[in-house]
Chain A
């Protein structure tokens, strides 16, 4: 059976990402109107919210991939899940930092407890930050993949529940003006937001595929070495939380 190739379509995908993100940036700075209340600072919305949304969807995507591993036992699903979660964590940290910058610019504080999205985010990131330490501390590779998959599924189910609970816990007097999905946005802003969201999503997929291509290539080289030269010539992969 031929080994999987992840690089297929990577060129087209990365070009699409480049085009979309460039278009998004152009829209943000040249097309989208200035917000009446917050002024120029509102522009952070177009990078912060897509990063947050893509990160959350990425965690759920990682959970779905983990289900794939538990059902098939094929390690490649575990690798896909690992990469998805690990990238969602990075995107999530980006979302958190940009959210904090936005809070400081708008409200003068680097952190606000009143903003449920930011708070839920912090909790989700705190949870997923334990994913790699968990993997590191299990030595047997098959058990590592299995336990990591269980964790990914439980944590993925946690994400929506967490958002629900935190949102309900915040007391709101005013209605939400700019919701996470851009429900109340005027037309020009909504278009800009959607293009940004698409761009960040494409970026996630591109980087995901890119990382898996690299990992897969390395695994193939090692496998080749083992086949051609024997098991004893292979050097151990080194301390890694990732399935190789």
Chain B
């Protein structure tokens, strides 16, 4: 990345491994956070869709009921 890093001394493997793992874990965590957010959104959409279906059925039942009464 830069001259600064190029002249830095190399860490022994057991220490270095932790930092590298940490960096990749941060990446994984961010992607998983996204998955969680998307899951919550999907859940909400499904709920709204089923509410729409339910309200639609109710409205249709109402109008049929009205027709029966009039007819």
Binding site for B on A (CB under 8 A): 35, 37-45, 47-49, 51, 90-91, 93-94, 97-98, 101-102, 104-107, 112, 114-117, 172-178, 180, 203, 207, 210-211, 214, 217-218, 221-222, 224-225, 228-229, 233
Q: Is the contact region of chain A dominated by helix, strand, or loop, or is it mixed?
A: helix
Whole-angstrom distance between the Cβ of A238 and the nearest chain B Cβ? 10
- Set B10, B19, B44: member contacting A101, Cβ < 8 A: B19
Docked CA distance A45–B2 (Å): 11
Docked CA distance A107–B5 (Å): 7
- Per-residue CB proximity of B35-56 to A under 8 Å, as 1/0? 0001001101100110010011
The contact sample of 7 A-B pairs, CB cut-off 8 A, is A40-B10, A47-B27, A48-B23, A101-B22, A105-B11, A210-B38, A228-B52
In the bound complex, residues from chain A placing their C-beta under 8 Å from that of B31 are 203
Q: How many residues on chain B are close to A (CB under 8 Å)?
A: 35
| CB-based contact B5/A102 at 8 Å | yes
Whole-angstrom distance between the Cβ of A18 and the nearest chain B Cβ? 11
| CB-based contact B11/A173 at 8 Å | no
In the bound complex, residues from chain B placing their C-beta under 8 Å from that of A177 are 2-3, 5-6
- Per-residue CB proximity of B1-44 to A under 8 Å, as 1/0? 11111111011010111011011101100110010001001101
| CB-based contact A45/B1 at 8 Å | yes
Query: Within 8 Å of chain A (Cβ to Cβ): is B59?
Result: yes
- Chain A residue nearest to B17 (CB atoms) is A40
- Chain A residue nearest to B3 (CB atoms) is A174
In the bound complex, residues from chain B placing their C-beta under 8 Å from that of A49 are 1
Contacts A40-B11, A102-B5, A175-B3; A229 near B55 (Cβ below 8 A): yes
In the bound complex, residues from chain A placing their C-beta under 8 Å from that of B15 are 105
Given A40-B11, A228-B56, output 7 extra A-B contacts at Cβ < 8 Å. A41-B19, A174-B7, A180-B1, A214-B42, A224-B52, A229-B56, A233-B55
- Chain B residue nearest to A107 (CB atoms) is B8
- Set B8, B13, B38, B59: member contacting A106, Cβ < 8 A: B8
| CB-based contact A90/B41 at 8 Å | no
